[in-house]
Amino acid sequence: MTDTPDPAAKAAANQMWGGRFADGPDAIMEAINASISFDKRLAAQDIAGSRAHAEMLGATGILESSDVAAIREGLLTVLSEIEAGTFQFSAALEDIHMNVEARLKEIVGEPAGRLHTGRSRNDQVATDFKLWVRDQLDATEQALQALIAALLDQAEAGADWVMPGFTHLQTAQPVTWGHHMMAYVEMFGRDLSRVRDARARMNTSPLGAAALAGTSFPIDREMTAKALGFDAPAANSLDAVSDRDFALEFLSTASICAVHLSRFAEELVIWSSAQFRFVTLSDRFSTGSSIMPQKKNPDAAELIRAKVGRIFGAQTALMMVMKGLPLAYSKDMQEDKEQVFDAADNLMLALAAMTGMVSDMTANRAALAAAAGAGFSTATDLADWLVRVLGLPFREAHHITGSLVALAEERGCDLPDLTLEDMQVGHAGITSDVFDVLGVDNSVASRTSYGGTAPEQVRAQIARWKE
């Protein structure tokens, strides 16, 4: 937790700022200026960056090896205190960087003051934040892979289970359960590719850009970039300290992924209702009612559906922060982290909850099959048969099929329940062979075009994804 500032902490803060300031900050200024309440989440990344910087300063002869050794051990002590929860954060020291440096000075003394040689808090925070976002992209990649694996299991189990396909939430054509699951595999697969693409693009190191213009010290930016797992140093020091594209791109990727999660969550809410009964969600991801004992509410899906608002809001907020800033660093950019932290937390929670629901849910094959044949779902198959067998233009076949649908509605039955004589009212050339295409199983089996719903195509796509 953050301590109440004391005179000693304020004095330490003044030392960090330098001799330009005679007095400590006003309490209101301190409150608006401090970021330690949230940027302490960057502690591990901050210490990793400082360790890499110190090792480089030693390797280039800028610091004595004894100073580097003291800094190295001191930083490890600070990290262990933070991980153990014994570190005392101070708002008077503003941020994670100054909190760490102040504690390092208490531990190792004078060498701590040499750690900041050749860098600024501007490149330091950009490096910390990039490292954190990169870690989050890696975690998101793993979470997406787990969700895709759960969807593949569902698709494989029901590759040939028929269900209704919808447009406008109206029965359109029969599809298979496996095909529907694989649609979400494709969607989350695109999210996975965006995560990997964003990670590759952001993987340059700001460290060594200093305040905005680089440094006159003979630093080795290649060394620190490599030590921190970056592909290369950022090529322009002005851009390096003012760039937050990596955070915006993470939020953009998270927002699109949240849309996909929300769409699937909406389907699960509908499918688990008493009116549909397509799926049963496990007790682990459902809740009951305080007054209606029969209720089993899909609360996890509903909460996932709501998360998109927070993630969208985070993206909009950061874009508004960045939209009017001149180069290079402005204090506005302190407002870049809370939105990203919140969006990341909610995205990871939503992905985990969705993976759990998909893994645990049970599809009601009988209800899916019963719904697949309702609502004249094989009308398009009839029209296609008229084109393929009788050689009719599709528009004429469409018209004939529509008239037969109207007849079935009038009779209170479905298309396969019409007699051959009823069918021949629409067109005298229709033969009994037409009934072969009006069953839902025959319908889905016929959709063998690449990416179609035929079970053989679904299984081929499952195999492709598993490879």
Catalytic residues: 168, 289
Cis peptide before 328 (omega within 30 of 0): yes
- Give the largest Cα separation in the chain, rounded: 101
Strand partners, 173: 165
Sheet strands (E) in 299-372: 362-363
Which residues lie below 8 Å from residue 189, measured CB to CB, with a gap of 6+?
148, 465
* φ, ψ for residue 119, nearest 5 deg: -145, 170
Strand partners, 162: 176
CB 108 within 8 A of CB 73: yes
Strand partners, 362: 280
Provide the terminal-to-terminal Cα distance of the chain, rounded to the nearest Å: 47
CA 13 vs CA 1, 47, 103, 339: distances in Å: 18, 19, 12, 27
> What's the token pair of residue 146?
């787990």
Beta strands 162-167; 89-90: pairing state: unpaired
DSSP, collapsed to helix, strand or coil, labels residue 171 as strand
Rounded Cα–Cα distance for residues 126 and 236 (Å) = 13
Strand partners, 171: 166
Rounded Cα–Cα distance for residues 107 and 94 (Å) = 20
Exposed/middle/buried for residue 146 (C-beta within 10 Å: 0-12, 13-18, 19+): middle
Which residues lie below 8 Å from residue 308, measured CB to CB, with a gap of 6+?
255, 258, 259, 261, 262
Ordered alpha helix ranges (H), 374-447: 379-390, 394-411, 420-426, 440-446
Beta strands 170-176; 89-90: pairing state: unpaired
Rounded Cα–Cα distance for residues 394 and 400 (Å) = 10
| Helix (H), strand (E) at residue 97 | helix 96-108
> What's the token pair of residue 300?
């996890």
CB 210 within 8 A of CB 124: no
> What's the token pair of residue 335?
């407002």
Rg (CA), the chain: 31
